[in-house]
Amino acid sequence: MRCFSGRKGHLVAINSPEEMAFVQSVVANQTSYVNDAHMNTWIGGVAEHNSEFVWDGFCGDPVRLDGGYTNWCEGEPNSSNGNSEHCVASHIHGTGCWYDFSCYNKANFFVVEYN
């Protein structure tokens, strides 16, 4: 959990198509967003030791991504980088689909929810 001006927050957990659309609109309205670029945002999914993705659990117990709303890109998650892809990012353009990527890679944006 991180704090900003004393407010505790965590990477966003997306639980519906409406929340996904909201995240896309928030990021797309940033001055550094370029509509025709391949830009992405880091969201709160992480892989557990058994490679099942969950929301990070900062709001309580982790929630399995396959137990509710998901928006995986075709063929994802795929651990294409030798099983070192343990974080989740979302493409901002188009469907906003998700893909797994290395937690050490940079994303263009990240979206934080505050309690």
pTM of the predicted model as reported, rounded to 2 decimal places: 0.76
Q: Could you tell me if residue 53 is inside a domain?
A: yes
Q: What is the pLDDT of residue 67?
A: 58
pLDDT tens-digit map of 2-51? 556 677 777 888 888 998 899 888 888 887 877 666 778 888 777 665 55
Strand-pair category, 2-4 with 53-55:
unpaired
Q: Could you tell me if residue 2 is inside a domain?
A: no
Q: In which residue are the tokens 């409406």 written?
A: 18
Residue 63 is part of a domain; what is its CATH number?
A: 3.10.100.10
pLDDT tens-digit map of 39-97? 788 887 776 655 566 655 444 444 555 557 888 889 888 877 666 777 888 888 778 89
State the residue range of the domain holding 87: 7-29+39-114
Domain count, the chain: 1
CA 3 to CA 89: how far, in whole Å? Answer: 21
CA 9 to CA 112: how far, in whole Å? Answer: 6
Q: What is the pLDDT of residue 35?
A: 67
Burial class, 40, CB count within 10 angstroms (exposed 0-12 / middle 13-18 / buried 19+): buried
Q: What is the pLDDT of residue 108?
A: 81
Tokens at residue 66, please? 């396959």
Q: Could you tell me if residue 99 is inside a domain?
A: yes
Q: In which residue are the tokens 């493409």 written?
A: 91
